[in-house]
Amino acid sequence: MSDSQIRPTSTSGRSRWAAWALIGGAVMLAGGALVLARAHAEEKKAPEAAGTSYRPEKPTDDQVARGAKVFFKECVWCHGPEGAGDGPGALRLWPRPRNFNAGTFKIRTTASGELPTDDDLFLTVTNGLPGSAMPSWEGVLTEQQRKDVVAFVKTKMVKDRNFQDKDEEFHVISFDGQVPSSAESIKRGQDVFLNKGKCVQCHGPEGRGNGNLTQKDDWGFPIFPADLHQCYNFRGNRRDPYNPRNIFREVSTGLNGTPMPSFADVLTVQDRWDVANFVISLCPKVKIDPITVKPTINFVLTSDFVNGALPTTADDPKWNTVEPHFVGLGGQITRKPQNFNRRIEEVWVKSLYNKDSIAFLLEWDDRNESHAEGPNLPPPVNVADLTIPVAYYANKMVFDEVKDQFKDLYPGEKYPEPVIYNDAVEIQFPAEWQKLVAPERPFFILGDPIKPVDLWKWQSDGSVVAYTGHGINGANGDPEIVPRKTVIKAEDAHFKNGRWYVILTRSLKTDDKENDVQFDVNKYIPISFQAWDGDNGEAGARMSLSAWYYVVLKPLTPTKAYVYPFIMIGIVVGLQWWVIRKTQSIHNGNGGRSGAKKK
């Protein structure tokens, strides 16, 4: 081949590159189009068009038969064989499972008092109702199965209404005119919340669901307004907790069966979007675990060093240097007395330390500030009996009305009078964590006889004690509280608008090495938390508690970390200089031994 053919000329070379660029670009476009097409195909089908034209599908007999099979395997246990929300599981659930018979459904896109659309019910089954025992059935039931069971429930379990009745109206709301979130929208929404919509009356001055605690649902069971700071617990969040569409929908349609009305006549569309944006702004922005629809839990919390004194108030700006840490609490059902219907589900923790002491700021939502009416003795073991219905402790104020209702539902059961105890919170550490070989720890429920725990307990009567936990005393079902001399300080413990704020402080080291946890910097120290809601019958071992976490006192950067790098830079520069000099002497002094160019 001649040179001119091998060596590309400028034009043919350019055209070759151009050809490749064109092919490459075409491939990328095709790929991009494919990706977009797939994304569109996977999009959920669009919701029903707004207006009154919607009519539900009439389920076929086949669908209803298939749905029955699903229902009697998966759903009957809570919802009951007649769909009356009285299955065996309903005994200990609050909120109770839905009673389908009246056709009353909470989460809909239809106007207040109307039946839901098929898609509303399908989405409820698919996404579940977070904050309740209704799980997401996606992944467990196929799409067809979920549609079938909806068909079955609509046809056989809704007894007082008929979806196909010509007189049933379906005014599907429109989501048009969404106002994007902004500081102005949130401010307007706050005004709606306080004044025009008067949401504070039920949801409380800070929206923590503590405005009205005497309400009942359509079936006469106690019901509380939602705590708007826990958007991941909203029934209708469709596993998308930060989406204002959910709030807009609830405010526009009301939640049938509950005291939550529709505000469509009172608030304009813009008002409702503004208040939706405001409500979403109340919820802490955290990473949500898609399966549990709860904040993802990091089991290591850190304590930051501060110069000077530790803060003694909850609003001290020093606390702003740390992010609040989410701690999840489950009900203690391992030992008696079992607490199936715990009220406190989470505690937010911040920690700071200085050269002497460590402080923990604990914040948690509690609708009612509780103080013990008598001596704060824990309930005897047999009070939290198998047979006590769960909503019993929901609200003392309506207890008398509810009591008679339960007598009919669960005849022959014992209903002792409700007792109010102190609200309380507790931090737990292994007493001698340094002696433990990881991952061994004391039993997380208040320790065990061989490996005791150091417990710091604060109660709403202002008392704070340090005591040692050896586990739950099986006979009495509660831990023995024998206060030790160690001083734990409780600072700024106060209840405000449905939230408790407590700071617990102690010195890093104490003299009692055997019983007091000793804090070292840069070590993983096991820590866990317990909480009591006094008007939920919680005291002693009847409590909410967390798993073992770790707390690490973050070490400061030592001075040598700033000095040694410069020493290293100096050494390396010296080495470089030496290498260059050596090379120069080899190659210039001996007249180009290795063939390097001279000039």
Partner 1 sequence: MFWQPGMMPIQLLMTLGVIFVLFVIGHTFIKKTFGKGIPMLGQGALVMLAAYITFKFVITPPIPYSLLVTYMGLVGLVTALYISATEAQWSETKKPIINTLLGVTPTYRGVRAVAFVAIPLFMGWQTYTSIAPPKEFPEPPELRTVHPAPPQAIKVHDKNFTLQTAKNPFRVDAKGEYLEVGKEQAFFDSNPWDPKAEGYLKYVREGGAVFFRNCHFCHGDNLDGRGIFAYAWRPIPANLADPGTIAQLQETFVFWRISKGGMNAPREINPWDSAMPPWEEHLATDDIWKVALFEYWHTGFFPRTWD
* Amino acid at position 573, single letter: V
9 versus 164: smaller Cβ distance to partner 1: 9
Residue among 137 and 421 whose Cβ is closer to partner 1: 137
| Burial bucket for residue 347 (CB in 10 Å: 0-12, 13-18, 19+) | buried
Query: Which CB atom, from 153 or from 420, has the smaller least distance to partner 1?
Result: 153
Would you say 210 or 530 has its CB closer to partner 1? 530
**Contact call for residues 107 and 129 (beta carbons, < 8 A):** yes
Nearer to partner 1, 78 or 213 (CB): 78
Minimum distance of partner 1 from residue 56's CB (angstroms) = 26
- Minimum distance of partner 1 from residue 156's CB (angstroms): 13
Listed in sequence order, the residues at least 6 apart from 545 whose beta carbon sits closer than 8 Å to its beta carbon are 329, 330, 332, 444, 445, 528, 529, 530, 531
- For residue 597, the minimal CB distance to partner 1 (Å) is 5
Tell me, rounded to whole angstroms, the distance of Cα 163 from its chain centroid. Answer: 35
Q: Which is nearer to partner 1, 271 or 345 (CB)?
A: 345
| CB of 455 vs partner 1, minimal distance in Å | 16
Looking at beta carbons only, is 303 or 376 nearer to partner 1?
A: 303
Distance CA 8, CA 12 (A): 6
User: Considering beta carbons, is residue 77 or 175 the nearer one to partner 1?
Assistant: 77
Report the nearest approach of partner 1 to the CB of residue 328 (Å): 4
Rounded to whole angstroms, how far apart are CA atoms 361 and 322? 11
* DSSP codes of every residue in 270-303: HHHHHHHHHHHHHS---PEETTTTEEPPPSEEEE
Q: Could you tell me the two tokens for 16?
A: 């070759």
Q: 420 and 125 in contact (C-beta within 8 Å)?
A: no
Rounded distance between C-alpha atoms, residue 433 and residue 440, angstroms: 9
The whole-angstrom separation of Cα 375 and Cα 75 is: 43
Nearer to partner 1, 73 or 513 (CB): 73
Cβ at position 461, least distance to partner 1 in Å: 27
Q: How far is the CB of 550 from partner 1 (least distance, A)?
A: 7
Task: State how far the alpha carbon of 348 is from the alpha carbons of 24, 327, 362, in Å.
Answer: 52, 6, 6
Q: Is 550 exposed, middle or buried (CB count within 10 Å of its CB: 0-12, 13-18, 19+)?
A: middle
**Phi and psi at residue 509, in whole multiples of 5°?**
-125, 145
Three-class secondary structure assignment of 240-270 = CCCCHHHHHHHHHHCCCCCCCCCCCCCCCHH
Least distance between partner 1 and beta carbon 95 (Å): 11
Least distance in angstroms from the C-beta of 50 to partner 1: 33
Residue 491 vs residues 187, 313, 315, 360, 502: alpha-carbon distances, Å: 33, 7, 12, 10, 6
Residues 6+ apart with CB under 8 A from 48: 54, 109, 117, 119, 172
CB of 496 to partner 1, least distance (A): 25
Nearer to partner 1, 180 or 474 (CB): 474
Sign of CA dihedral 129, 135, 140, 141: negative
Shortest distance in whole angstroms from residue 381 CB to partner 1: 10
Of 31 and 565, the one with the shorter C-beta distance to partner 1 is 565
| Cα separation, 426 vs 460, whole angstroms | 12
Nearer to partner 1 by C-beta: 278 or 348?
Answer: 348
Residue of 438, 443, 432 lying closest to 516 (CA atoms) = 432
Least distance (Å) between residue 502 CB and partner 1: 20
Rg of the chain (C-alpha set): 32
> Phi and psi at residue 74, in whole multiples of 5°?
-110, -35
